[in-house]
């Protein structure tokens, strides 16, 4: 089974990804055509949004570059039509100005993966396209694995675990901070879940969700993940895309459906000021609220390129201070109880999975 998966992945390495752009400005289509044909992508440009919808309905495309302000249909109307028959195509919205982008609720509802301001310089757009293609590659890989699992039910558990590890290692190869981080977040989350009296199934979902929570970083450029100084606002915005990218990657795999809420919502805040969906309070899935506390704790107590690990007493004060704003108060109190009375369990995890 494992060799068959690897053979299929290798066979797909020569696949030429197809990109379609829909923009009613012929000059933009011409510029994109010249720019993208220098890459290894196959490109199609369409100036009529209705024609573009038909092309996507009748041909396979991996990624859509879509203008927002068009006639006779705006970009959100185009996506509305496309999502009726195609849930998989990766969509990047192009806007004349970021203030003209559709509201967050619309972007979330239509499953638009990102947007970019139009410019005569295409470097930023190419970064977003390359990030999208990486996400699509991972989605294809998971879909292949999922299809093979359906044919080989008796090997489900073994292949499931192998899949988790192989994808997680792909992220860890890009981001050295992630090494050990996901293991620790997984273990801390399980500690909290057990203290809350969750079921065995919920505990297992927490464990796997913690291991996988940062998988969306596969779609973030290496130059950003490996940067050793403060990120710019634009770079931080790309980092903030990783929960949505992770959810999109896992969306086709039945085996991973239970962990998607953790992957997508572990950066939501209890006060509604988090991302990507600005959920608040108990709108945030319970397991995601648990993972959020574990994730923040590990981030504060881990060495980073720009600072050392923070003192545990300071970290406890921060968790206490952020109850009801960043964290669910009940979950924060449970974790503080562990820190105050069972800290040896935290230390055992940190020894088992050290921060390099």
156-174 helix and 200-212 helix, angle to the nearest 10 degrees: 30
Cα 20 to Cα 23: distance, rounded to the nearest angstrom: 10
Largest CA distance in the chain: 66
The alpha-helical segments, DSSP class H, found in the chain are 2-11, 26-36, 49-58, 75-82, 104-109, 123-151, 156-174, 178-195, 200-212, 222-225, 233-239, 242-250, 260-265, 286-301, 312-321, 329-341, 343-352
Quick check: helix, strand or coil at residue 77? helix
Q: Is 323 a catalytic residue?
A: no
CB 75 within 8 A of CB 83: no
CB 127 within 8 A of CB 221: yes
Q: Given 84, 217, 273, 352, which residue is catalytic?
A: 217
CB 69 within 8 A of CB 95: yes
* Residues whose CB is less than 8 angstroms from the CB of residue 206 and which lie 6 or more positions away in sequence, other chains included: 186, 189, 190, 192, 193, 198, 262, 287, 290, 291
And the tokens for 164? Answer: 């988790």
CB 260 within 8 A of CB 285: no
Q: CA geometry: angle at 193 spanning 252 and 220, to 5°?
A: 40
Count of beta carbons in the 10 Å neighbourhood of residue 307: 9
Which sequence positions are flagged as catalytic? 217
């Amino acid at each position: 089974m494992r060799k068959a998966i690897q053979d299929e992945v290798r066979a797909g390495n020569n696949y030429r990804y197809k990109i379609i752009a829909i923009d009613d400005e012929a000059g933009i289509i011409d510029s994109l055509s010249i720019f993208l044909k220098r890459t290894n992508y196959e490109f199609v440009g369409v100036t009529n949004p209705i024609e573009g919808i038909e092309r996507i309905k009748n041909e396979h495309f991996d990624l859509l570059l879509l203008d927002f302000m068009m006639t006779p249909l705006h970009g959100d109307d185009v996506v509305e039509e496309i999502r009726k028959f195609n849930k998989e195509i990766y969509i990047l919205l192009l806007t004349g100005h970021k203030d003209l982008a559709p509201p967050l609720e619309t972007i979330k509802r239509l499953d638009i993966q990102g947007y970019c301001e139009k410019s005569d310089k295409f470097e930023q757009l190419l970064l977003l396209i390359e990030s999208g293609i990486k996400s699509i590659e991972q989605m294809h890989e998971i879909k292949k694995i999922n299809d093979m699992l359906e044919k080989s039910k008796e090997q489900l558990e073994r292949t499931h675990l192998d899949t988790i590890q192989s994808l997680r290692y792909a992220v860890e190869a890009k981001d050295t901070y992630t090494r050990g981080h996901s293991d620790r977040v997984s273990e801390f989350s399980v500690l909290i879940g057990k203290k809350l009296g969750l079921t065995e199934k919920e505990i297992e979902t927490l464990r796997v969700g913690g291991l996988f929570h940062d998988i969306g970083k596969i779609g973030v450029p290496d130059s950003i993940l490996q940067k050793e100084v403060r990120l710019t606002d634009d770079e931080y915005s790309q980092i903030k895309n990783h929960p949505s990218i992770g959810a999109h990657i896992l969306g086709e795999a039945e085996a991973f459906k239970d962990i998607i809420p953790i992957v997508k919502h572990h950066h939501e805040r209890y006060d509604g000021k988090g991302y990507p969906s600005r959920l608040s309070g108990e709108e945030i899935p319970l397991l995601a609220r648990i993972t959020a506390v574990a994730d923040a704790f590990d981030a504060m107590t881990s060495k980073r390129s720009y600072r050392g690990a923070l003192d545990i007493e300071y970290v406890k004060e921060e968790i206490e201070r952020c109850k009801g704003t960043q964290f669910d108060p009940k979950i924060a109190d449970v974790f503080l109880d562990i820190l105050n009375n069972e800290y040896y369990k935290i230390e055992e995890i940190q020894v088992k999975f050290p921060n390099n």
